[in-house]
């Protein structure tokens, strides 16, 4: 196997602020909490950090979607950097990580602080938060093609794709419910999760429809919180306090039309070519995965990934998740072990990274996957955006 | 519950010289899609470049206004005051070329009657100087 650059990088530190439905401090303060937590976890000090990356960078719009960017955090921490970059036009939120791999490989930096901060719980209380557009507004860019049709939230854009999946797969609401039910089971064991009460199929079906086929429990939970990781070159990573956990392979491809309306395969979204690329960069296979943290901005993203990673066959997810046993903590393919974004909160794919690392270190507490997991897959998704990578603990 | 307030004005696209014809053809009852002069491929969104034959020579062509529902969702959540309780957002593929998809609302029918691959036809709603393409079922009385 080619010695791809990602194999010479490792996640050495993880950090997270308090995750809540309403923070008692600013988005920047939450980000500082997460950053200092991650730096300390890696056994480093501020002076060791010589790179920074984030997705998508400061939107400067108060929407809570991304209120903290590199300049504010770099200045607050007085970091001295050899390289830094935000990156919003990438293979989803993991573009920040993939760019950092390149920068480390190019010798521009050794320890990159990567962060993602959400402040949507507070923003929703005070403004038209996380809206794609507003009545009467003029809309620029790719969302102009949706603008006149009362598309105010990602739920509507994405529902078009989930409807196509439901139509082609024949998956019913009752079958889909097991994603949300399983994740609430996991969240019940996670003291930091937002929603910890177990739910049933009946609860799932009794919850409001947002836009067909989406129901309330298919949707992630807006929160205030920040997640940070330290991505390091493997050489200094070998001296870090935790066991070396390398990035084994990445999937960053864009081989479709990069468009929310013209994307060829609405039912699979952009995931298949991303998964194919990741598998082509490793000798590992699906059977080697011990734990999977699959993006769940909506439950359908997770369902799509089960099929597109090859865990089950195309349109076979409805049988694979039935009863929740295979995807449970003690099942053959445990997923979203902290409750995911549906129950632990919308940390926007970086919750998935943090939880994968927690599991690979054996620090999951009551929700720890048994059997000393050593290989994790982490994914993100959303229409034309998709990214994936494998983590291997040595 | 019936909401008597006026529906909110639609957010509108900020047009460019590439996109303005698409959003104004409705003034003359025409759905205008960019087409390659050389190979007749329909290019959407409009770019002035044909990805099939690499020609830069294109024009806006009135198409039939007929299409089929590729996918759709029935909205149930009132995102902003005054919106109807239920409305249909869809992607319609135009009859002339399956890979040209238009986001739209399906109107003049009960949302519960909309189906995949349903034949639909265009109509236009004028908003602040732009003519917004909407679609209704073929055979709709309206």
CATH of the domain at A309: 3.40.47.10
Q: Is residue A208 part of a domain?
A: no
Q: How many CB pairs under 8 A join A and B?
A: 115
Half-sphere exposure of A278 (CA within 13 A, CB side): 30
Q: Kindly state the average pLDDT of the residues B22-47.
A: 98
Between CA A392 and CA A6 the distance in angstroms is 12
Q: Is residue A99 part of a domain?
A: yes
**pLDDT at residue A130, rounded to an integer:** 53
**pLDDT at residue B2, rounded to an integer:** 37
Does pLDDT of B25 surpass 80? yes
Between CA A80 and CA A64 the distance in angstroms is 27
Does pLDDT of A325 surpass 70? yes
Q: What is the separation of C-alpha A273 from the centre of its chain, rounded to a whole number of angstroms?
A: 18
**Angle, helix A154-169 to helix A299-308, in steps of 10 degrees:** 50
Q: Is residue A142 part of a domain?
A: no
**pLDDT at residue A133, rounded to an integer:** 76
List the domain range (segments joined by +) for residue A43. Answer: 5-126+220-393
Structure tokens at A19: 């995750």
Q: What mean pLDDT, rounded, does chain B reach?
A: 93
CB contact under 8 A, A262 and B101: yes
Instruction: Give tens-digit pLDDT for A39-72.
Output: 999 999 999 999 999 999 999 888 899 999 999 9
Q: Kindly state the average pLDDT of the residues B11-23.
A: 95
Contact of B90 with A150, CB cutoff 8 Å? no
**pLDDT at residue B80, rounded to an integer:** 82
**pLDDT at residue A108, rounded to an integer:** 98
Does pLDDT of B138 surpass 60? yes
| Candidate from A131, A145, A212 with C-beta closest to B74 | A212
Domain count, chain A: 1
Question: Where is average pLDDT lowest: A121-125, A306-310, A363-367, B82-86?
Answer: B82-86
Percent of chain A with pLDDT over 70: 98
Q: Kindly state the average pLDDT of the residues B84-103.
A: 96
Domain boundaries defined on chain B: 20-137
Neighbour order of strands in the sheet with B58-63 = B42-43, B31-36, B58-63
CB contact under 8 A, A262 and B116: no
B6 at interface of A, judged by CB pairs closer than 8 A: no
**pLDDT at residue A62, rounded to an integer:** 84
- Is-above-0.80 flag for pTM? yes
Between CA B138 and CA B120 the distance in angstroms is 5
Neighbours of B6 (CB within 10 A): 7
Q: Kindly state the average pLDDT of the residues A270-288.
A: 98
Task: Please list every residue in chain B whose beta carbon sits closer than 8 Å to the beta carbon of residue A216.
Answer: none
CB contact under 8 A, A261 and B14: no
| Candidate from B70, B76, B101 with C-beta closest to A209 | B76
CA distances from A376 to A259, A265, A334, A351 (A): 29, 27, 10, 14
Task: Please list every residue in chain A whose beta carbon sits closer than 8 Å to the beta carbon of residue B12.
Answer: 136-139, 147-148
Overall residue count recorded for chain B in this entry? 142
**pLDDT at residue B1, rounded to an integer:** 34
Q: Between these two residues, A130 and A318, which has the higher pLDDT value?
A: A318
Instruction: Give tens-digit pLDDT for A175-196.
Output: 999 999 999 999 999 999 999 9
What H or E segment, with its residue span, contains residue B23? helix B20-24
CB contact under 8 A, A150 and B71: no
Instruction: Give tens-digit pLDDT for A133-149.
Output: 777 778 998 889 998 99
Does pLDDT of A153 surpass 60? yes
CA distances from B33 to A292, B25, B27, B100 (A): 44, 9, 14, 9
Q: Is residue A213 part of a domain?
A: no
On whether ipTM exceeds 0.90, the answer is yes
CB contact under 8 A, A160 and B73: yes
CB contact under 8 A, B10 and A150: yes
B5 at interface of A, judged by CB pairs closer than 8 A: no
Written as one string, the DSSP assignment of A224-272 is EEEEEEEEEEHHHHTTSSSPPEEEEEEE----S---TTT-S-TTTTTHH
Per-residue confidence band for A2, with pLDDT thresholds at 50, 70 and 90: confident
Question: Where is average pLDDT lowest: A4-8, A61-65, A339-343?
Answer: A61-65
């Amino acid at each position: 196997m080619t010695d791809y650059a990602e194999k010479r990088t490792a996640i050495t530190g993880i950090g997270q602020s308090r995750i809540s439905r309403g923070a008692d401090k600013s988005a920047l303060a939450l980000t500082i909490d997460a950053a200092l937590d991650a730096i300390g976890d890696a056994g480093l000090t501020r002076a060791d950090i010589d790179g920074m990356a984030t997705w998508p960078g400061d939107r400067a719009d108060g929407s809570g979607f991304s209120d903290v960017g590199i300049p504010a955090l770099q200045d607050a921490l007085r970091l001295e950097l050899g390289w830094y970059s935000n990156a919003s036009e990438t293979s989803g939120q993991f573009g920040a990580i993939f760019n950092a791999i390149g920068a480390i490989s190019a010798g521009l930096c050794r320890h990159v602080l990567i962060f993602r901060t959400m402040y949507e719980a507070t923003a929703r209380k005070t403004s038209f938060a996380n809206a794609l557009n507003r009545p009467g507004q003029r809309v620029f860019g790719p969302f102009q093609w949706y603008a006149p049709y009362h598309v105010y939230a990602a739920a509507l854009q994405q529902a078009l794709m989930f409807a196509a999946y439901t139509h082609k797969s024949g998956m019913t609401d009752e079958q889909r419910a097991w994603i949300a039910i399983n994740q609430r089971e996991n969240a019940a064991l996670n003291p930091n999760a937002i929603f910890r009460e177990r739910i049933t199929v009946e609860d799932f079906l009794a919850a409001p429809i947002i836009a067909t086929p989406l129901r309330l429990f298919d949707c992630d939970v807006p929160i205030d919180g920040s997640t940070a990781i330290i991505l390091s070159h493997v050489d200094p990573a070998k001296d870090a306090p935790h066991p070396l956990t390398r990035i084994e392979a990445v999937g960053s491809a864009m081989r479709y039309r990069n468009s929310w309306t013209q994307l060829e395969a609405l039912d699979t979204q952009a995931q298949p070519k991303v998964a194919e690329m990741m598998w082509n960069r490793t000798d590992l296979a699906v059977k080697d995965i011990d734990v999977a943290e699959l993006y769940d901005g909506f439950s359908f993203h997770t369902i799509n990934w089960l099929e597109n990673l090859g865990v089950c066959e195309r349109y076979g997810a409805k049988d694979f998740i039935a009863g929740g046993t295979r995807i449970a903590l003690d099942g053959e393919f445990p997923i979203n072990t902290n409750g995911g974004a549906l129950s632990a909160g919308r940390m926007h794919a970086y919750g998935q990274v943090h939880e994968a690392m927690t599991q690979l270190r054996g620090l999951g507490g009551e929700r720890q996957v048994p059997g000393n997991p050593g290989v994790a897959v982490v994914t993100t998704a959303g229409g034309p955006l998709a990214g994936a990578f494998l983590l291997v603990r040595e | 519950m019936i909401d008597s307030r006026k529906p909110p004005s639609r957010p509108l696209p900020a047009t460019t010289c590439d996109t303005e014809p698409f959003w104004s053809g409705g003034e003359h009852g025409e759905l205008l899609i960019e087409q390659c002069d050389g190979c007749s491929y329909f290019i959407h969104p409009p770019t002035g470049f044909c990805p099939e034959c690499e020609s830069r020579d294109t024009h806006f062509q009135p198409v039939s206004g007929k299409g089929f529902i590729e996918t759709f969702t029935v909205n149930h959540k009132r995102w902003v005051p005054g919106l109807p309780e239920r409305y249909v957002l869809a992607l319609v593929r135009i009859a002339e070329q399956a890979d040209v998809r238009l986001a739209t609302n399906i109107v003049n029918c009960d949302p519960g009657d909309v189906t995949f691959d349903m034949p639909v036809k265009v109509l236009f709603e004028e908003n602040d100087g732009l003519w917004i393409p909407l679609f209704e079922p073929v055979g709709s009385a309206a």
